[in-house]
């Protein structure tokens, strides 16, 4: 007879009774503790199996104080940056025995506060706050009862721990790569200058140019994180400065627009003009013609690191580090800067 109705989950008590032992003994047996006779343990395990016993982590958490649970508080799930970070964190935790509460605040402070309360009431062991840009964001506050790590968007409170990609170095590396490819007449098309990301990448690029005894051709153009802007800016650029031999773009979307216009105008990439993107959004980078060289922020690694910090804080052995940490990026080279052999 197959029971199709959802059944009540078996409890440790049920197991104990079936195995004809006390509740405590059943607990010990199932938790693999030494002070249980082997035969007894077998009986208990058999009973547990027969009953499809699933230990109640909720009850367990009540006693231990640990729930084996962390909160992931994002400000915009849709954002392209959330996902890899979230994956990295989920990955690092999933390896162990921790589950992740996902909360999307939709960029709304009130909703965020609401979710924070909910997470605390569920007694999460830690919280990761994920932003969708690298501008500092308001801190959740000090002395919360659990460790908090800010990922991508740093907290505005230096007492908090924040992990964010190193956009300045990213800009540097981009220019260094272009220079290494023999380019010297380089232009820049960036994203919205209201974003720290746009400014930091530009800053790094300018530092690297100066170090190489160069400077940008024309004024760096910052406006919008869009393909459309990439197209418009490239058209202007090639019109005013036909001599440029490389464009460093502030995002892959912008770069994609640049590629399209360069092609329309009959310029060969990378022979005439090298084009670099930023973010290494493979979906765009690998679908481009030619494929796009881009700077990767290692977001999955960043998510993993954030999870690791939570672990560390839980172990409590180490002093919880503070401040904003800038994590390394890496340049992924493809056909838009180096011709295929």
Partner DNA sequence: CTGTTAGCGCCTTCAA
Partner DNA sequence: TTGAAGGCGCTAACAG
Give the DSSP letter of residue 155: B
Among 2, 6, 7, 22, binds DNA (CB under 7 A): 22
Among 24, 46, 50, 118, binds a second copy (CB under 8 A): 118
Annotate each residue in 257-276 with x if it binds a second copy (CB under 8 A) or - if it does not, as one string.
x--x----------------
* 3-state SS assignment for residue 216: coil
Contact 86, 102 (CB under 8 A): yes
Contact 130, 153 (CB under 8 A): yes
Q: Length of the chain, please?
A: 341
Backbone angles phi, psi at 338, to 5 degrees: -130, 120
Beta bridge pairs of residue 148: 127
Our finding on whether 317 is near a second copy (CB under 8 A) is no
175 closest CA partner among 143, 198, 142, 209: 209
- Which residues of 176-227 form beta strands (DSSP E)? 186-190, 221-222
Our finding on whether 77 is near a second copy (CB under 8 A) is yes
Alpha-carbon gap, residue 278 to 289, rounded angstroms: 16
Alpha-carbon gap, residue 60 to 102, rounded angstroms: 22
Among 45, 146, 196, 265, binds a second copy (CB under 8 A): 146
Q: Which is nearer to a second copy, 62 or 211 (CB)?
A: 62
Q: Which is nearer to a second copy, 40 or 308 (CB)?
A: 308
Q: Which of the stretches 37-45, 129-137, 143-151, 220-228 binds DNA when contact is defined by CB under 7 A?
A: 37-45
Our finding on whether 215 is near DNA (CB under 7 A) is no
Contacts to DNA by CB under 7 A: 11-13, 20-25, 27-28, 30-31, 34-41, 53, 55-56, 59-60, 62-65
Contacts to a second copy by CB under 8 A: 2-9, 54-59, 61-62, 67, 69, 72, 77-78, 83, 86-87, 90-91, 94, 97, 99-104, 111, 115, 117-123, 142-147, 159, 226-228, 231, 253, 256-257, 260, 287, 289
């Amino acid at each position: 007879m197959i029971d199709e109705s959802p059944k009540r989950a078996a409890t440790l008590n049920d197991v104990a009774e079936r195995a004809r032992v006390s509740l405590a003994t059943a607990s010990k047996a199932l938790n693999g503790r030494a002070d249980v006779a082997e035969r007894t343990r077998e009986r208990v395990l058999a009973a547990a199996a027969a009953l499809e016993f699933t230990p109640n982590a909720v009850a367990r958490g009540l006693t231990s104080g640990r729930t084996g649970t962390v909160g992931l508080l994002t400000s915009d799930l849709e954002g392209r940056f959330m996902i890899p970070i979230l994956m990295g964190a989920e990955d690092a935790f999933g390896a162990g025995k921790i589950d992740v509460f996902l909360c999307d605040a939709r960029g709304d402070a009130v909703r965020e506060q609401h979710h924070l309360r909910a997470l605390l009431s569920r007694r999460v062991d830690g919280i990761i706050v994920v932003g969708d840009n690298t501008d500092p964001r308001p801190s959740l506050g000090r002395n919360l009862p659990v460790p908090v790590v800010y990922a991508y968007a740093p907290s505005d409170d230096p007492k908090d721990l924040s992990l964010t990609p190193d956009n300045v170095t990213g800009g540097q590396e981009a220019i260094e790569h272009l220079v290494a490819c023999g380019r010297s007449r380089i232009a820049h098309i960036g994203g919205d200058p209201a974003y720290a990301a746009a400014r930091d990448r530009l800053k790094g690029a300018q530092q690297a140019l100066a170090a190489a005894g160069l400077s940008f051709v024309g004024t760096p153009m910052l406006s919008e994180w869009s393909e459309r802007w990439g197209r418009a800016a490239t058209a202007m650029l090639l019109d005013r400065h036909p001599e440029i031999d490389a464009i460093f773009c502030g995002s892959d979307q912008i770069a994609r627009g640049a590629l399209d216009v360069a092609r329309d105008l009959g310029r060969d990439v990378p022979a005439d003009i090298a084009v670099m993107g930023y973010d290494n959004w493979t979906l765009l980078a690998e679908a481009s013609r030619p494929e796009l060289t881009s700077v990767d922020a290692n977001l999955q690694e960043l998510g993993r690191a954030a999870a690791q910090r939570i672990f560390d804080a839980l172990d409590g052995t180490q002093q919880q580090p503070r401040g904003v940490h800038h994590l390394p990026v890496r340049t992924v080279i493809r056909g838009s800067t180096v011709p295929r052999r």
